[in-house]
Amino acid sequence: MDVSALVEGLRSGDRRTVARMISLVEDASIETLGEVMRQIGGMTSHAYTIGVTGSPGVGKSTLTGALVSELRKRDRTVSVLAIDPTSHITGGALLGDRLRMQEHATDPGVFIRSMATRGHLGGLAWAAPHALRILDAAGVDTILVETVGVGQDEVEISAQADTTIVALAPGMGDSVQANKAGILEIADVYVVNKADREGAKQVVRDIQQMLELGAHGEWLPPVLMTTATDGTGVDEVLNAVDRHREYMDSSGEARRRRLARAAGEIREIVIGRMRAAIGTVKDSDLLAALAEQVVEHELDPYAAADKLLAEVDA
Amino acid sequence: MDVSALVEGLRSGDRRTVARMISLVEDASIETLGEVMRQIGGMTSHAYTIGVTGSPGVGKSTLTGALVSELRKRDRTVSVLAIDPTSHITGGALLGDRLRMQEHATDPGVFIRSMATRGHLGGLAWAAPHALRILDAAGVDTILVETVGVGQDEVEISAQADTTIVALAPGMGDSVQANKAGILEIADVYVVNKADREGAKQVVRDIQQMLELGAHGEWLPPVLMTTATDGTGVDEVLNAVDRHREYMDSSGEARRRRLARAAGEIREIVIGRMRAAIGTVKDSDLLAALAEQVVEHELDPYAAADKLLAEVDA
């Protein structure tokens, strides 16, 4: 693979090259990825990353589309990375049919890509930083990262974002359920979408009450209402994101997050190397033979891991 | 730590020992865990594991409680492992207040434990197999594993279960949303809970239609209705689980899943060793210094990982 040619294409903002390089994160060998990252190393760290998360059905895709429109009004270029943590089952991202995004399909200032995160080298914590570095190197102002699902994935994506928007909606189970799913605690900005529906104001009050009761840092996350289908309230969401960005910079929190993110990235690359090395061993029949012995109680899993580790060269 | 004494307590079914050992999965060193697993190696592989999963709000906890009641009617002993993938934020499992479980609290045939899965050595794929081996070694017939959230966690837990129940409910977003979250594809048995609510039959039809259109193996997952609050339909769910179990045994699929599970377990232990080794390096300031250099663009993350790996001794 001619990595230099790819990086040249990326530098010139060629969309097909960007798309191809994001596919590489899922498919390429760790050696190829390492070469890519080495070559784009100096090109990154200009884009601002906004995470958009929330339970299925709250209108995340629509909200993301409305945020893109608003960002374009402000003359910012945008990449959207839609992460589908489940697509290793279906064999492809389920988000191709993003109707709300179609209006942006012909805008050269907007790049949209969905991505699975269950590659052979690791999950979301592995894939997201790689993809974000590639999008960043392509020279965009803002990256929107949208995730499907609740739980571990959301928390991991919030670690990758400079500002995390948590979207909720009335009638999607009460706020206690949302809290149970843990996503309330990662929000820098709350958005109650479907504000035209009954119960929206109650959701706002519930969150505000939770914020009053709970611990939060210096930054008090605002709770905003939107009707993403017609764009109502979306400008205010972007204003809040900008205010959060200023807070992050002035408080030093931005740098702390960047350092934590870099440490996590380094750690996951080390783990990725180990996974790659195990993958090589897997191709021999050693792991299958060890699994057989564990199932037959001839070996405990730790003893089997010892034997595997002896063959692994990370 | 006196691992032998713990294992002795486990062998005699002492509940406090079981609880303590499950905490070990999150907190103990990999050396201690390895010693535990070595000592209980021969005691395991008798319990049948049922995964219960689905979006927040469908009534998973209530359904799990009803399944426990039904299992007890059939004179089976039960352990419930409630997995909370988000609790690294709150610092503790959120599931302590499991009202529906309280009726079982004094039943010596029922053991209930919730667990976080964001320990220092890995996530759910690391923690779940360890916890299941411990519960199994404690000598129970059936283990119910309940997970909060949708996405990656659900998929990982289904890999740990012999039979996976996916719970849905009317009014929780349409079935397309559930499909988007990917959980439909991991089901061995579908349960539409809150069957007394409007729209329940439509959810059943939607799933049946999806099953007709989609690919499934020899086993056609049944689609059942329950009202978990009063137990309606729960006996049929357990009957379906038993039929699935017979199918798994007779088709050889049970053994295939066990082998895949053992291979995954061995792999995660190797990765866990690597994480533990990085943890040791982290305590020195090397990782922080490397992160600083990555943020300052003095080093790309792969070069930093090379430097870290040179110091790691797994």
Q: pLDDT tens for residues A277-303?
A: 887 766 668 889 999 999 888 899 999
The C-alpha angle A240, A147, A109, rounded to 5 degrees, equals 65
Give the per-residue pLDDT at B59: 87
Give the per-residue pLDDT at A184: 64
Are B241 and B288 found together in one domain? no
Mean predicted confidence (pLDDT) in A190-204: 93
CB contact under 8 A, B301 and A260: no
Are A243 and A305 found together in one domain? no
Q: Does A301 touch chain B (CB under 8 A)?
A: yes
Give the per-residue pLDDT at B97: 39
Query: CATH number, domain at B63?
Result: 3.40.50.300
Query: How far apart, in Å, are the Cα atoms of A55 and each of A148, A223, B55, B56?
Result: 7, 17, 8, 9
Choice among A110-119, A194-203, B232-241 with the minimum mean pLDDT:
A110-119
Is position B29 within any domain?
Answer: no
Mean predicted confidence (pLDDT) in B8-12: 88
CB contact under 8 A, A267 and B287: yes
Is position A224 within any domain?
Answer: yes
| Average pLDDT taken over every residue of chain A | 83
Most confident by average pLDDT, A39-43, A310-314, B20-24? B20-24
Are A173 and A291 found together in one domain? no
Is the complex ipTM more than 0.85?
no
On the question of pLDDT at A88 being above 50, the answer is: no
Instruction: For residue A271, list chain B residues with Cβ-Cβ distance below 8 A.
Output: 271, 274-275, 278
Distance CA(A163)–CA(A155), nearest Å, equals: 12
Q: Does A262 touch chain B (CB under 8 A)?
A: yes
The C-alpha angle B190, A168, A196, rounded to 5 degrees, equals 110
Q: Does B123 touch chain A (CB under 8 A)?
A: yes
Instruction: For residue A255, list chain B residues with Cβ-Cβ distance below 8 A.
Output: 295
The tokens describing B304, both together, are: 């930093």
Give residue B311's pLDDT band: very low, low, confident or very high (50, 70, 90). Answer: confident
Q: Does B89 touch chain A (CB under 8 A)?
A: yes
Are A215 and A287 found together in one domain? no
Q: What is the pLDDT of residues B82-139, one digit of tens each?
A: 886 554 433 333 444 344 466 777 788 888 888 766 666 667 778 888 999 999 999 8
Candidates B56, B85, B180; nearest CB to A173 = B56
Q: Does A273 touch chain B (CB under 8 A)?
A: yes
Closest Cα partner for A114 from A98, A125, A126? A98
Q: What is the pLDDT of residues B179-216, one digit of tens each?
A: 544 566 788 999 999 999 999 999 999 888 888 877 67
Are A241 and A109 found together in one domain? yes
Q: Does B41 touch chain A (CB under 8 A)?
A: yes
Give residue A29's pLDDT band: very low, low, confident or very high (50, 70, 90). Answer: confident
For B188, phi then psi, to 5°, come to: -95, -30
Mean predicted confidence (pLDDT) in A159-170: 90
Choice among A35-49, A179-193, B188-202, B257-271 with the minimum mean pLDDT:
A179-193
Instruction: For residue B148, list chain A residues with Cβ-Cβ distance below 8 A.
Output: 151, 180-182
Q: What is the pLDDT of residues A148-162, one digit of tens each?
A: 655 556 667 778 899
Residues A155 and B87: beta-carbon distance below 8 Å: no
Mean predicted confidence (pLDDT) in B17-31: 86
Is position A167 within any domain?
Answer: yes
Instruction: For residue B302, list chain A residues with Cβ-Cβ distance below 8 A.
Output: 33-34, 37-38, 269
Residues A22 and A113: beta-carbon distance below 8 Å: yes
The tally of CA atoms less than 13 A away on the side-chain side of residue A113 is 24
Kindly list the strands in the beta sheet with B110-116, ordered across the sheet, starting from the edge strand earlier in the chain.
Answer: B110-116, B78-84, B142-147, B48-53, B163-168, B189-192, B223-225
Are B147 and B226 found together in one domain? yes
Give the per-residue pLDDT at B99: 46
Are B142 and B211 found together in one domain? yes
Candidates B129, B288, B305; nearest CB to A273 = B305
Per DSSP (E only), the strands in chain B are 48-53, 78-84, 110-116, 142-147, 163-168, 189-192, 223-225
Is position B290 within any domain?
Answer: yes
CB contact under 8 A, A300 and B149: no
- pTM for this prediction: 0.74
Give residue A121's pLDDT band: very low, low, confident or very high (50, 70, 90). Answer: low
Are A114 and A169 found together in one domain? yes
Number of structural domains in chain B: 2
Instruction: For residue A285, list chain B residues with Cβ-Cβ distance below 8 A.
Output: none
CB contact under 8 A, B185 and A259: no
Q: Does A45 touch chain B (CB under 8 A)?
A: yes
Provide the total of helices (H) and of strands (E) in chain B, helices listed first: 13, 7
CB contact under 8 A, A88 and B155: yes
Is position B11 within any domain?
Answer: no
Give the per-residue pLDDT at B191: 95
Provide the total of helices (H) and of strands (E) in chain A, helices listed first: 13, 7
Candidates B273, B274, B301; nearest CB to A262 = B301
Is position B22 within any domain?
Answer: no
Residues A268 and A125: beta-carbon distance below 8 Å: yes
Are A69 and A200 found together in one domain? yes
The tokens describing A150, both together, are: 């609740």
Are A176 and A131 found together in one domain? yes
CB contact under 8 A, B57 and A266: no
| Average pLDDT taken over every residue of chain B | 83
Give the per-residue pLDDT at B93: 38
CB atoms within 10 A of CB B181: 26
Give the per-residue pLDDT at A101: 64
Are B236 and B269 found together in one domain? no
Distance CA(A199)–CA(A205), nearest Å, equals: 10
Is position A137 within any domain?
Answer: yes
Are A268 and A163 found together in one domain? no
Distance CA(B72)–CA(B78), nearest Å, equals: 8
CB contact under 8 A, A182 and B94: yes
Distance CA(B78)–CA(B275), nearest Å, equals: 33
Give residue A57's pLDDT band: very low, low, confident or very high (50, 70, 90). Answer: confident
Boundaries of domain holding A89: 45-250
Give the per-residue pLDDT at B297: 86
Q: Please enumerate in sequence order all residues whose Cβ is within 8 A of that of B240, keeping only pairs 6 or more positions apart, or say none.
A: B189, B222, B224
Distance CA(B69)–CA(B80), nearest Å, equals: 12
Instruction: For residue A117, list chain B residues with Cβ-Cβ distance below 8 A.
Output: 152
Distance CA(A137)–CA(A139), nearest Å, equals: 5
Element (H, E) at A217: none
Q: Which of B250, B274, B302 is the last residue of a domain?
A: B250
Give residue B175's pLDDT band: very low, low, confident or very high (50, 70, 90). Answer: low
Give the per-residue pLDDT at A87: 44
A73 to chain B nearest CA, in Å?
Answer: 30
Candidates A38, A262, A282; nearest CB to B303 = A38
Is position A49 within any domain?
Answer: yes
